[in-house]
Amino acid sequence: MAHPSEHDLAVVATPSSTHVPLALAALAAGQAVVVDKPFAPTAEEARRVVAEARRRGLFLSVYHQRRWDSDTVTLRRLIAEGALGDVLRFESRFERWRPVPKGGWRESDAPGGAGGLLYDLGSHLVDQALHLFRPVARVYAELDRRRPGIAVDDDVFVALTHTSGVRSHLWASALAGQLGPRVRALGTRAAYVKLHADGQEAALLAGGRPDWGVEPRARWGMLGVGDEASPVRSEPGAHQRYYAGVVASLRHGAPPPVDPDDAVAGLEIIAAAQRSAAGHETVTLPAAR
């Protein structure tokens, strides 16, 4: 930030409580900025960063790379092809078996820290649902702390009613001894069910290279009705497309790969989910996003 002319981009990949001050400092230094998820602890703080980037005419995007998970890319293709007919219900899960808390800032309840699974994995789940089915009108949520000594939610269910009529049911849990399907989409013509999670994260941790997103046939999802369902080819997962989109924006003026307004809408949904869980009621968003 002291030598902005030597750099093209600042990437804020730090604990969530620092995202807003570091993003604002980078913008003040004249830098284009990518912010990791969750963009900010609140939608209001996120809007402040978006407004500052626009005031300065600088690039800003949020790293919701899981739009390029294999299952999400494949489902987008199937929807575009009309293979499902009209989608009625979308189910999505990020589940783990971690009965002993790991500690650290993601499991802290520090004010402004954006800890807990709703902010962590829930940010991805909500963004994928918005990416696939767009604006949300109503939100219902159940947020629980299941493990002894945990201070933030570690078992999450969120139900979204999109303005299109699609219903998204989203789960995140640290206590899933048996994993549910990664994705299940029900339509008027067929259903798509994929059991296995995208493999890019595991491949990256193992030192994989850019062909990591190709899935073997054994991990493909099933498309069809009942016993007539058959394996459908998985599109390769491609998180690297996010930064290809960043390059296209910085060099050629293309739209950002993730519009920061989408991340603000996701934070509004997270806030509505928190209100819903506290009041045991469905929350209607004041303006569909």
* Segment 189-220, tens digit of pLDDT: 999 999 999 999 888 888 877 667 789 999 99
Q: What is the pLDDT of residue 206?
A: 86
Looking at the fold, whether 79 and 36 belong to one and the same domain comes out as no
Give yes or no for residue 4 having a pLDDT over 90.
no
Are 17 and 119 found together in one domain?
no
161: pLDDT confidence band, cut at 50, 70 and 90? very high
**What is the predicted pLDDT for the residue at 24?**
98
The predicted pLDDT at position 165 comes to 96
Tell whether 267 is covered by a domain: no
d(CA 273, CA 71): 25
- The average pLDDT across 105-113 equals 89
Task: Name the residue range of residue 15's domain.
Answer: 4-64+242-258
Exposed, middle or buried, 215 (CB in 10 Å: 0-12/13-18/19+)?
A: buried
* CATH code where residue 228 lies: 3.30.360.10
In this structure, of 84-98, 209-223, 251-265, the range with the lowest mean pLDDT score is 209-223
pTM of the model as a whole: 0.95
277 within a domain of the structure (yes/no): no
Same domain (yes/no): 60, 74: no
145 neighbors 151 (Cβ within 8 angstroms): yes
Mean residue pLDDT of the chain comes to 95
pLDDT of residue 213: 78
Assigned domain for 274 exists: no
Domain presence at residue 104: yes
pLDDT more than 70, % of the chain: 98
- Residues 146, 11 share a domain: no
pLDDT at 51 > cutoff 60: yes
Task: Determine the pLDDT at residue 172.
Answer: 98
Is residue 288's pLDDT more than 70?
A: no
**55 within 8 A of 246, measured Cβ to Cβ:** no
Percent of the chain at pLDDT above 90?
87
Same domain, 60 and 73: no
In Å, how far are 39, 74, 135, 179, 273 from 185, measured between CA atoms? 27, 12, 18, 17, 22
pLDDT beyond 50 at 41: yes
User: Are 132 and 207 in the same domain?
Assistant: yes
- The pLDDT assigned to 204 comes to 84
The reply to whether 102 and 152 lie within a common domain is yes
User: How many domains does the chain fold into?
Assistant: 2
pLDDT at 183 over 90: yes
**Tokens (6 digits) for 278:** 């506290």
- Cα angle, residue 275 at apex, residues 270 and 276 outer, rounded to 5°: 95
- Is 270 among the domain residues? no
**pLDDT band for position 289 (cuts 50, 70, 90):** very low
